[in-house]
Amino acid sequence: MKRQLPVLIAFVVGIGLWAQFYIPSQLSQDALETFTTSWAVILSAAALILGILSALHHHWSKIQLRKPGYAYSIVMIACFALMVTAGWFSFRWPGFSGTTMQSDGFFDWIFDYVFVPLEATMFSLLAFFIASAAFRAFRARSFEATALLVAGCIVMIGRVALGESIGWDADHNLTSLTGWIMNNPNAAAQRGIVLGVLLSMVAISLRIIFGIERTYMGGGD
């Protein structure tokens, strides 16, 4: 029963949410609104708490076993405790008020002047990895790589002011060609990828609803 009950709940909820799209009634709309505004929020909060506890358990285990890099786990737990304490008690210090980011507390100050710069630094580092991957992908060793190289060069040049001066006139230059590439071949490829993702979501949803996929219960069968 411990393994059958989650499958039964997933089946009932999945079939109910699927059927409400084809039953245009006030009852189905109220059921959907109740689920999206109440149950979905509760489940999201429970998943967030579970993820936090899992992350804390992982890092605490690394500290106890003195695994390589456990010092970073100490920093992570210390920063987590600091942010929770600052957010829970809503510290308001005079030295942290009146900033350009409208911060009026220690929690906001940490977010604006520690977290945001760290996030910007992370994305800046990712830019170098993307450039490195693009350099390896743009090697013209095949027709596909050559097409990617040509399209990439056109888009990069067309996105700057130089692209407007390369062409016959204002309507026929690299900038307009860049717009055509982004709005036609690129959009078509993106729609194909999104369509594939949606089909895979439908397939995995059906597997969960009918009890074929049970990995969410911690096992493969």
Give 107-142 pLDDT, tens digit per residue: 888 888 888 999 999 988 887 887 777 777 777 677
CB 14 within 8 A of CB 209: yes
- Mean pLDDT of the chain, nearest integer: 81
In the predicted model, is pLDDT for residue 192 greater than 60?
yes
Specify if 217 maps to a domain.
no
DSSP output for 145-186: HHHHHHHHHHHHHHTSTHHHHSEEETTEEHHHHHHHHHHTHH
Q: What is the mean pLDDT of residues 83-90?
A: 79
In the predicted model, is pLDDT for residue 50 greater than 50?
yes
Specify if 60 maps to a domain.
yes
Specify if 63 maps to a domain.
yes
Specify if 19 maps to a domain.
yes
Q: From CA 72, how far away is CA 171, in angstroms rounded?
A: 55
Q: How far apart are the first and last CA of the chain?
A: 14
Specify if 179 maps to a domain.
no
What pLDDT is recorded for position 21? Answer: 80
Specify if 30 maps to a domain.
yes
In the predicted model, is pLDDT for residue 104 greater than 80?
no
Q: From CA 52, how far away is CA 22, in angstroms rounded?
A: 38
> Where are the strands (E) in 75-220, listed by range?
167-169, 172-173
In the predicted model, is pLDDT for residue 12 greater than 90?
no
Q: From CA 97, how far away is CA 117, in angstroms rounded?
A: 19
Specify if 79 maps to a domain.
no
Q: Note down the domain range covering 53.
A: 1-67
Specify if 127 maps to a domain.
no
Q: From CA 171, how far away is CA 174, in angstroms rounded?
A: 9
In the predicted model, is pLDDT for residue 103 greater than 50?
no
Q: What is the mean pLDDT of residues 174-187?
A: 86
In the predicted model, is pLDDT for residue 55 greater than 90?
yes
Tally of structural domains, the chain: 1
**pTM for the whole thing?**
0.58
What pLDDT is recorded for position 169? Answer: 67
Q: Predicted confidence band at 34 (pLDDT cuts at 50, 70, 90)?
A: confident
The position carrying tokens 């409400």 is 20
Q: What share of the chain is helix, strand, coil (3-state, %, to 5)?
A: 80, 0, 20
In the predicted model, is pLDDT for residue 53 greater than 60?
yes
- Find the helix or strand (DSSP H, E) in which 215 lies: none
Residues with Cβ < 8 Å from 157, sequence gap 6 or more?
Answer: 163, 166, 174, 178
What pLDDT is recorded for position 63? Answer: 93
